[in-house]
Structure 1
């Protein structure tokens, strides 16, 4: 992995994260987190942790980048953010749950992220299945990408924090824009990772059961997809339209269409207004 940087930002809202303080605060007394590293620049935090997983890196490894230059979203889309303007973080997990239940892992991550963002005064957020965190106006705050390799699952999150409107696509926003005031990146990062641990450990102990752990209930409470008309572009390019009715035991989106009910394991979902 690249060496950590001590470079400072001229914008106080984009000051570098204090890696030693964050690592100490996160790992002290934790039942999951083993290490946290912050690097100044990297190609992809997910790719770096997938390489680390292949080298038997332990579960609970966290990698944060101030600037990611070849970040990826779902469907091979690119994801970029100005240095210090957001949170780019990946975590290495080795969930001992049935393979089908792993579909809940990005949804579990989304709930933890939504809860952390919900602590920011003035921000109202919701989750769009399967991997987006949206602001109240429907603009995208964050994306989540889960990838499998080296016997592990690496989950990456890209969250816009201090990003300005002129630095964002028309469909996106940031915490600072949504809240109307500066936001402490470190506090959001710690809140997210601690929340992820609180949900992940009981979920794995219950072999990925989303009902017994309350995950399914809490996901539905944050979801702006379930109950909405949706149009889903499927991997083969076809488009499926209907009403999103629920999320099933394996994390699939259940959509009622004119031809019947379909459970989607993947797809690019758009809310139809």
Structure 2
């Protein structure tokens, strides 16, 4: 049975006739924007607008500008290619056209402001859950915002999350490598769903499922006033967090370092590190390195 046509609530920018055809690489077809709009822009749903652009600098930058101009919650902006994508600490990265999912969503959460730090964690949980269910690949979430997968016994980065606050709005961005080939990886520690043996790499299928999963988790989190325990977000994250139980080296602001065992994520989303003297220190920001255990001396 086919679904009836749904009301269309915003304009969609698709692919024009100028420039190279998006079908030049048959392994990387363009997103089916019309199907995504039909399935996601429903009455009373979270998603209210969905735009796909051929190329942009950063979807987060573009959508933040729209947030400042008063765009309603629920706008989704997806780029088939980003040429100035940004990660944490303003790190830059780029990827071949249509080789991944590069998107941002505009949210205006109705929760206490101190709980907004849980949003990148919510994005990670939604992404990891979707990829496991749809693509058959188990994802680990490295605190605070990396998606990892094990390939040939080594942890590899599959994607990252960046959230930015603009007034009462939060723009949450996700970059996920889908079909990158080995010779296209930006660094040896990166990978893609294809290289990880994913059962599904169709980006339209993955994106549809991801946005549905996120909307459900976001609703539960808002219904619980952003409480990570009552909403189930904290236990869901802890179950997938690849940092917990590991020896870590945390590079802190001011060129400081903290070494110890990551033992918990607290109610504010901070990583709790137990130092060698037994002190438990919460970390709210920093780069985390997973330290390999030293071989036992025999």
C-alpha change, 1:55 and 1:13, in structure 2 (3 Å) is same
Match of 1:117 in 2: 131
Match of 2:159 in 1: 142
Mapping 1:32-47, distance limit 5 Å: 32-47=46-61
Task: From 116, 119, 134, give the equivalent of 1:102.
Answer: 116
- The CA distance in 1 between the partners of 2:181 and 2:96, in whole Å, is 10
Match of 2:8 in 1: none
- Residue 4 (structure 1) aligned with residue 4 (structure 2): no
**Could you give the per-residue CA deviations for residues 144-192 of structure 1, whole angstroms, max 9, x where no partner exists?**
0001114211000000000111111101000001016661111111111
- Residue 175 (structure 1) aligned with residue 189 (structure 2): no
Match of 1:58 in 2: 72
- The CA distance in 1 between the partners of 2:273 and 2:213, in whole Å, is 29
C-alpha change, 1:180 and 1:151, in structure 2 (3 Å) is closer
Q: TM-score, normalised by structure 2?
A: 0.88
Q: Which structure would you say has the larger Rg?
A: 2
- The CA distance in 2 between the partners of 1:121 and 1:15, in whole Å, is 18
Task: From 276, 281, 289, give the equivalent of 1:258.
Answer: 276
Once the two structures are overlaid, the 10-residue window that deviates more, 9-18 or 100-109, is 9-18
Give RMSD over aligned pairs. Answer: 1.7
Once the two structures are overlaid, the 10-residue window that deviates more, 115-124 or 215-224, is 115-124
- Residue 185 (structure 1) aligned with residue 185 (structure 2): no
Residues 122, 178 of structure 1: 8 Å contact kept: no
Once the two structures are overlaid, the 10-residue window that deviates more, 175-184 or 68-77, is 175-184
- Residue 156 (structure 1) aligned with residue 166 (structure 2): no
Residues 12, 50 of structure 2: 8 Å contact kept: no
Shift of 1:257: 1.0
Shift of 1:258: 2.8
SS in 2 for 1:221: helix
- Greater relative contact order, per chain length (Cα 8 Å cut-off, separation 6+): 1
Residues 134, 200 of structure 2: 8 Å contact kept: no
Shift of 1:30: 5.2
- Residue 17 (structure 1) aligned with residue 31 (structure 2): yes
C-alpha change, 1:84 and 1:211, in structure 2 (3 Å) is same
Residues 120, 179 of structure 1: 8 Å contact kept: no
Q: Which has the higher helix share?
A: 1
Which structure 2 segments of 5+ residues have no match? 1-10, 293-298
Which structure 1 segments of 5+ residues have no match? none
Residues 55, 150 of structure 1: 8 Å contact kept: no
C-alpha change, 1:30 and 1:80, in structure 2 (3 Å) is farther
Residues 103, 252 of structure 1: 8 Å contact kept: no
- The CA distance in 2 between the partners of 1:2 and 1:111, in whole Å, is 28
- The CA distance in 1 between the partners of 2:232 and 2:43, in whole Å, is 24
SS in 2 for 1:67: coil
Shift of 1:37: 0.6
SS in 2 for 1:177: coil
